Amino acid sequence: QSALTQPASVSGSPGQSITISCTGTSSDVGGYNYVSWYQQHPGKAPKLMIYEVSNRPSGVSNRFSGSKSGNTASLTISGLQAEDEADYYCSSYTSSSTLRVFGGGTKLTVL
Amino acid sequence: EVQLVQSGAEVKKPGESLKISCKGSGYSFTSYWIGWVRQMPGKGLEWMGIIYPGDSDTRYSPSFQGQVTISADKSISTAYLQWSSLKASDTAMYYCARLNRGGDIDYWGQGTLVTVSS
């Protein structure tokens, strides 16, 4: 069982917006602004999409945005495109370990 | 350009030893933590441990403590993940990754597939 809880799957049609949640506790997501999101296409290495809750690395589309409220972080993808179909993982700093923790991952399907 | 290049796929038998590598380039290898992440077939990402090549400070996830050894040779900008006695349950893709100043993974290696089967 992962330390952070994500929905197993979400789906949306091209052009729509979707949101993926990542729920933790006050010891991780809720207590620190160190939440990141990774995109992984099948057979590929993950890619950093959002870091420190809401920051986008250079080169990542501004259709991707991150936010946090209480113990839940969210990744929103607007203007959904076929190429966004992938697995998405959240990660957070946690006070209970020297290592970050991952969520279980969410499979995004673009209908 | 920052790059992490991992060694190739391995097929091993249970009980055999293995050491896989991750060579960093395009940045100061000794100034950033390197981590290892396991992904079992069809499953999610799991932290195994991290190492700071500058002084070899190493931290392990409790799940992997004693099961693997993480090391680094800063003279050749390479980090390693090794097993002394593989099990079938070690079959997985293993990624090395660089941690940025905030502790997030900003660069990933391409992955090394390890298959353990009799």
Task: Name the band, by pLDDT with cuts 50, 70 and 90, for residue A2.
Answer: low
pLDDT, averaged across chain A = 94
Residue of B92, B21, B9, B7 whose CA lies nearest to B51: B21
d(CA B108, nearest CA chain A) in Å: 7
Give yes or no for B46 touching A (CB within 8 A).
yes
Contact A44, A89 (CB under 8 A): no
Q: What percent of chain B has pLDDT over 90?
A: 93
Give me the amino acid identity at B9.
A
Residues 50-89 on A with a CB inside 8 Å of B are 51-52, 57, 89
Q: What percent of chain A has pLDDT over 70?
A: 98
Residue B91: the pLDDT is: 98
Residue that is written with structure tokens 């090794």 in the block: B82
Contact A74, A35 (CB under 8 A): no
Residue B57: the pLDDT is: 95
Residue A10: the pLDDT is: 98
Q: What percent of chain B has pLDDT over 70?
A: 100
Give yes or no for B42 touching A (CB within 8 A).
no
Length of chain B: 118
Q: Which of A2, A41, A99 to mutate to test the interface with B (most CBs of B within 10 A)?
A: A99
Task: Name the band, by pLDDT with cuts 50, 70 and 90, for residue A98.
Answer: confident
Q: Above 70 in pLDDT, residue A1?
A: no
Q: How many CB atoms lie within 10 A of CB A28?
A: 25
Residue of B22, B20, B21, B26 whose CA lies nearest to B3: B26
**Per-residue pLDDT tens over the stretch B22-70:** 999 999 999 999 999 999 999 999 999 999 999 999 999 989 999 999 9
Kindly determine whether residue B49 and residue A99, on different chains, have CB atoms separated by under 8 Å: yes
Measure the CA–CA gap between A5 and B118, rounded to whole angstroms.
36
Which among A47, A51, A99 has CB closest to B47? A99
**Per-residue pLDDT tens over the stretch A29-82:** 999 999 999 999 999 999 999 999 999 999 999 999 999 999 999 999 999 999
